[in-house]
Structure 1
Amino acid sequence: MSFLAAIAVLAVLILVHESGHFIAARSQGIYVNRFSLGFGPVIWKYQGSETEYAVRAFPLGGFVGFPDDDPDSNIPADDPNLLRNRPILDRAIVISAGVIANLIFAYLLLVLQLGIIGTPEIRYEPGAIVQPVNQESISYQAGVRKDDIIVAVNNKQLPASLDSQRILTEEIKNHPNQEIQLQIKRQEEILDLKVTPKAGEDGKGIIGIGLSANGKPVLSSNGKPVYNRDRSISEVLGVSASKFQQIVVGTFGGFGQLITNFKETAGQVAGPVKIVKIGASIAQNDAGNLFFFGALISINLAVINILPLPALDGGQLAFLLIEGLRGKPLPNRIQEGVMQTGLVLLLGLGIFLIVKEALFQ
């Protein structure tokens, strides 16, 4: 169910994006002949008076189609309501409307989370939650299991705060090749275990609990989110705006790092499979955080689409800018060549990420 919830969130965000294009076009009287959620085979469609609405098999995408280049269209080529015959400003509004819709929707999701669910605040309990790296680790061999709560180390009680992580880590590091005592809470049972950390390359003790990708110990304080709903409407709007700004700035900063420090950050790029996995994990742990997950992905979707890359909204806006500067559009063959090349590269990257994340992670 959590996996389906994550898929649903992504589908809604794509629907919002494409609806932005659609509404911007129809509100100006511009013809739209297709509105599709998803790619691939059609599983449902409805023919309206002017537009065909369809749902396709793969929901991780969508498109709005215009009759401008449709060879089967019976609309005269010089009709003023074709998108290509509209002034640059009208076309720019249609092209950028998807990005604007995603940004507005992201802010509304943050408002809903804070207004309905509340502001998450962590309520800590004594101890630190741990997880052995594998069955060969020192911690596992000593009897530590996933989600055990270490409440004391060497008779030092771990407090109900983030300090529990620091205290436990320091005790382990400071006792290489020396036996230490762990008091563990496993459900309602209290266990006393003895474990001897081995010396790592830096001479500090390690027992193999929760190693991250870079090899550093990762522990989790024993805390659960408690939601504070005691906020006024004005405060909810203000806090949501602040969080929205933080996400937007952070997203642009992340893309900046990808450009300036590609080698170090390329591995952090997430494709559809990884995004769905993250969303499913969030939904499983705390469904309320799906609002924040949706806002985060919606903003990322907006930022990606506004980049001046072929086959994206930003690429089409770049063509409009060139047209405005030249006084006439670039030749169709050049635009089509650039857009087709960009589409192939974009699809290739998408397929690569899907295969990589599905088979190797």
Structure 2
Amino acid sequence: MSVLAAIAVLAILIVVHETGHFMAARLQGIYANRFSIGFGPILWKYQGSQTEYAIRAIPLGGFVGFPDDDPESDIPEDDPNLLHNRPILDRAIVISAGVIANLVFAYLVFLTQFTTVGIPDGINFQPGVLVPQVISQSSPAAQAGIRSGDIVLAVDGEPLGSSEAALTTLMRTIQDSPDEAIDLTVQRGDRQLDLTVVPEPGADGKAKIGVQLYPNGTPEYRRPRGILEVFSLAAQEFQRTFVRIVEGFVMLITNFSEVAGQVAGPVKIVEQGAGLAASDSASLFPFTAIISINLAIINILPLPALDGGQLTFLLIEGLRGKPLPNRLQENVMQTGLVLLLGLGIFLIVRDTTQLEVFQKLFQ
């Protein structure tokens, strides 16, 4: 059920994004004849009065199609309601609406969380530090035998205890011990294991073992004091999350070699979401908001086949006073789409082979 919940989150976010494009077009009277989730061969479709709705085989996004790109369309080329006949501003609104929809949706998710679940009010700490994810099977943690879901109870024989300080203690010990063996006592289900990990030095001088670490405990919530508090805290959480994600993208660009291994595809995202849903269903709210903001930022990047790439073409058109040749735009977009799908398939294969269940098949 937790895996299905994580898959549903991704599907909802794709629908939200494409609905943004679709509604921005339809509300302006612009023709939109296709609304597809996924790419490639059609698995299911429904023909509406103006639009074909479809689910396709490759689940790496979706698209809204326009008659401008349909050779079988019988709409005259000079029809003012074709997308390419609209002013630059109208087209920019349609192109950017998916990004805006994902950002608005993320805020609404936080709003829903604080309204239904409550306002976060501390953590009921349990002994140790939780390892929600081992980032790579080639990391020091994986080589030491640490698995996602483990709880680190002690470091070098010293119990970490039940407090927020446990996380700080473990992180400091790891960061200060490059190429030095650390003995860990780990809780896995009803068993305790003694494992030894050797942190590897990072580019910033701090050692790492290739895991995410969270305080071990269950979050506590309180009822909101009023509707204004809900709106205010949702805005603050949205801003905090947005800034943190942007900083992550900046780090990816400026320190690609160190951070590239943490880039996740659909399989890894589903795995992370399933783990969160299994431990605390309420954590699906921030998970959904984080993925929605990530989807918005990725799409606004000025890369071919993404919304940012199309906005770049519009900017060039505005500066030149005329659009670039259609053939050039099509070639750039098709090349970008192939590269994007290739990257998606690579991430799916890489993340699938790193799944614990997959690893056991070859042990």
TM-score normalised to structure 1 length: 0.80
Residue 107 of structure 1 aligns with an amino acid whose one-letter code is: Y
Deviations 1:198-253 (A, max 9, x none): xxxxxxxxx53798992389876552211222332111111111111112212221
Q: Which residue, 289, 298, 302 being the options, matches 1:308?
A: 302
SS at match of 1:208: strand
Q: Paired residue for 1:199? A: none
What is the rounded CA distance, in whole Å, between the counterparts of 2:245 and 2:278 in structure 1? Answer: 25
1:286 equivalent in structure 2: 280
**Secondary structure of the corresponding residue to residue 72 of structure 1:** coil
Contact 1:124 1:224 in 2 (8 A): yes
Q: In structure 2, what is the Cα distance between the partners aligned to 1:348 and 1:169?
A: 36
- Amino-acid identity (%): 60
Match of 1:353 in 2: 347
SS at match of 1:71: coil
Q: 1:250 aligns with which of 241, 244, 247?
A: 244
Identify the residue that residue 104 of structure 2 maps to in structure 1.
104
Partner of 1:79: 79
Aligned to 1:54: 54
Equivalent residue, structure 1, for 2:316: 322
CA–CA separation in structure 2 for the residues paired with 1:218 and 1:346: 27
Partner of 1:21: 21
Q: 1:286 to 1:29 in 2, by over 3 A?
A: same
1:20-74 per-position Cα deviation (integer Å, ceiling 9, x unaligned)? 0000001111111111122333332211111111123444411110011211111
What amino acid maps onto 1:71 in structure 2? P
C-alpha contact (below 8 Å) 2:107/2:289 kept by paired residues: yes
1:225 and 2:219 are equivalent in the alignment: yes
Structure 1 residues 42 and 218, CA, compared in 2 at 3 Å: closer, same or farther? closer
Do 1:127 and 1:221's aligned partners in 2 also have CA atoms closer than 8 Å? no
2:196 pairs with 180, 190, 208, which one?
A: 208
One-letter amino acid of the counterpart of residue 165, structure 2? D
Q: What is the distance in 1 between the residues matched to 2:323 and 2:144?
A: 65
Rg: which structure is higher?
1
Partner residue of 1:272?
Answer: 266
Q: Which residue of 1 aligns with 2:35?
A: 35
- In structure 2, give the amino acid aligned to 1:108: L
The unaligned stretches of length 5 or more in structure 2 are 132-140, 177-182, 201-206, 356-363
**Residues 124-149 of structure 1 deviation map (CA, whole Å, 9 limit, x = unaligned):** 35632578x79988x9xxxxx96586
Q: Aligned to 1:62, what secondary structure does the other structure show?
A: strand
Report the counterpart of residue 164 of structure 2 in structure 1.
Answer: 162
Structure 2 counterpart of 1:202: none
Q: String of CA shifts for 1:280-307, please: whole Å, max 9, x gaps.
A: 1111111111111110000000001011
The DSSP-based 3-state class of the residue aligned with 1:311 is coil
Indicate how the Cα distance of structure 1 residues 224 and 338 shifts in structure 2: closer, same or farther if over 3 A, else same. Answer: same
Q: Contact 1:126–1:164 at 8 Å: present in 2 too? A: no
Q: In the TM superposition, what whole-angstrom CA distance separates every residue of 1:185-205 from its partner, at most 9, and x where no partner exists?
A: x97x9x9x9x8xxxxxxxxxx
TM superposition shift of 1:331: 0.9
How far 1:320 moved relative to its partner?
0.5
C-alpha deviations, 1:133-188, integer Å up to 9, x for none?
79988x9xxxxx965867xx78xx865422345678999x9xxxxxx9x9x9x97x
Q: Match for 2:26: what amino acid?
A: R
Residue 89 of structure 1 aligns with an amino acid whose one-letter code is L
In structure 1, give the amino acid aligned to 2:281: A
Distance in 1 separating the partners of 2:82 and 2:39: 24
Closer, same or farther: CA 269–31 of 1 in aligned 2, 3 Å: same
Q: Give distance in 2, aligned partners of 1:321 and 1:163.
A: 50
State the alpha-carbon separation in 1 of the partners of residues 87 and 16 from structure 2: 25
Q: Contact 1:37–1:61 (CA<8 Å) still a contact in 2? A: yes
Corresponding residue of 1:12: 12
Moved over 4 A (4+): 133-137, 145-150, 164-171, 209-213, 216-222
Unaligned 5+ runs, structure 1? 140-144, 174-179, 196-206
Residues 1:217 and 1:343: Cα distance change in structure 2 (over 3 Å): closer
What per-residue deviation string (whole Å, max 9, x for no partner) do you get for residues 254-278 of structure 1? 1111111111111111111111111
Query: Which amino acid is the alignment partner of residue 319 of structure 1?
Result: F
Q: Which amino acid aligns with 1:345?
A: L
TM-score between the two structures when normalised by the length of structure 2: 0.79
SS at structure 1 position matched to 2:346: helix
Residues 217 and 284 of structure 1: is their aligned pair in 2 closer, same or farther, counting only changes over 3 Å? closer
The amino acid of 1:264's aligned partner reads E
Separation of aligned partners in 1, 2:124 and 2:11: 35
SS at match of 2:208: coil
Report the secondary structure of 1:56's partner residue: strand
Q: Which amino acid aligns with 1:52?
A: E
Structure 1: how far apart are the matches of 2:89 and 2:291? 28
1:112-131 maps to which residues of 2 (within 5 A)?
Answer: 112-125=112-125, 127-128=127-128
Query: What is the deviation of 1:345?
Result: 1.4
